[in-house]
C-alpha cells in the first residue's frame, strides 16, 4: 500500500536507512543497543497501556521491532508507515499493513484509537507537522505514544553520531512537547525519561 509522499532516495536520511535495512533488526539485538532498546521498550509499554483488540497507526515503523511488539501486545491490526521501502520489506508477518509514505503527509481514510512513533521524529524536517498530521488520523481521545532522543549530554553524542552520516537530528525535552502539542490538538498526559538519552511521551487527542 502506498499513501502520501516519501523521502527521495537522494535524501541522506533515506539513503542511510535504506542501506541499514538488511541487518537493522539483527544489529538491534547486540549490546549496547539491545540494553538501550530494552529500557525504551519498557517505557513505551508503560505509556501504551492496554491495546488489546485495538487498531494502531505506527509512524516510522522501520523493520518492525515495535510493530511486532504491538501485535504480541494484542493489537488487532497495525498500519506501519515508513519512508523506506527496504525497511517495510523487512516487517514481520502478521496483521500488518505496510504504508510507504511521509509521516507528515500521508492521508489514510481512517482514524485510530492508538498511535505510536518510536525513533522517527528526530529525523523528519518538521516534527510539528508530524504531530499535526497524526491528529488528523486520531479518534477523539486517542493516545499517541512517542519515543525521541532527549536534550542531554548523551543526546548530543547521539546527534554527533548521525552528523557523521551527513544529517542532523532533532533533540527534544518535555517543554518542547508542552509548547507544541496543543497547537496540533494534543495534550501531554505523561512523560518518562529513559537512560541514557531517551524521552517517552504519551499525548492525548484534544
The DSSP code for 123 is G
Please tell me the class of the 12-205 domain: alpha beta
- Interaxial angle between packed helices 65-72 and 33-48, expressed in degrees from 0 to 180 and rounded to the nearest 10: 40
pTM of the model: 0.84
Per the listing, cell 542511510 goes with 16
Domain ranges of the chain: 12-205
Q: Using one digit for the tens of pLDDT, what is the confidence trace for 74-117? A: 999 999 999 999 999 999 999 999 999 999 999 999 999 999 99
**Could you report the per-residue pLDDT of 11-44, keeping only the tens digit for each?**
665 555 555 555 555 565 666 678 889 999 999 9
Residue whose C-alpha is closest to residue 56's, from 164, 173, 149, 137:
137
Among the listed residues 166, 70, 169, 155, the one whose alpha carbon sits nearest the alpha carbon of residue 124: 169
Amino acid at each position: 500500500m502506498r499513501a502520501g509522499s516519501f523521502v527521495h532516495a537522494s535524501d541522506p536520511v533515506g539513503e542511510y536507512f535504506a542501506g541499514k535495512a538488511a541487518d537493522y533488526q539483527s544489529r538491534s539485538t547486540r549490546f549496547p543497543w539491545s540494553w538501550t532498546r530494552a529500557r525504551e521498550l519498557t517505557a513505551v509499554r508503560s505509556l501504551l497501556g492496554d491495546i488489546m483488540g485495538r487498531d494502531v497507526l505506527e509512524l516510522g515503523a522501520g523493520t518492525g521491532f515495535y510493530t511486532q511488539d504491538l501485535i504480541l501486545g494484542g493489537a488487532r491490526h497495525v498500519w506501519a508507515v515508513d519512508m523506506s521501502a527496504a525497511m517495510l520489506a523487512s516487517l514481520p508477518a502478521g496483521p500488518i499493513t505496510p504504508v510507504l509514505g511521509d509521516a507528515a503527509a500521508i492521508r489514510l481514510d481512517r482514524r485510530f484509537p492508538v498511535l505510536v512513533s518510536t525513533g522517527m521524529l528526530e529525523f523528519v524536517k518538521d516534527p510539528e507537522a508530524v504531530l499535526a498530521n497524526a491528529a488528523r488520523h486520531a479518534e477523539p481521545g486517542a493516545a499517541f505514544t512517542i519515543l525521541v532522543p532527549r536534550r542531554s549530554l548523551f543526546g548530543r553524542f547521539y546527534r554527533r553520531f548521525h552528523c557523521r552520516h551527513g544529517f542532523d537530528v532533532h533533540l527534544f525535552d518535555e517543554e518542547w512537547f508542552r509548547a507544541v502539542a496543543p497547537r496540533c490538538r494534543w495534550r501531554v498526559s505523561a512523560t518518562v525519561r529513559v537512560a541514557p538519552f531517551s524521552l517517552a511521551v504519551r499525548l492525548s487527542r484534544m
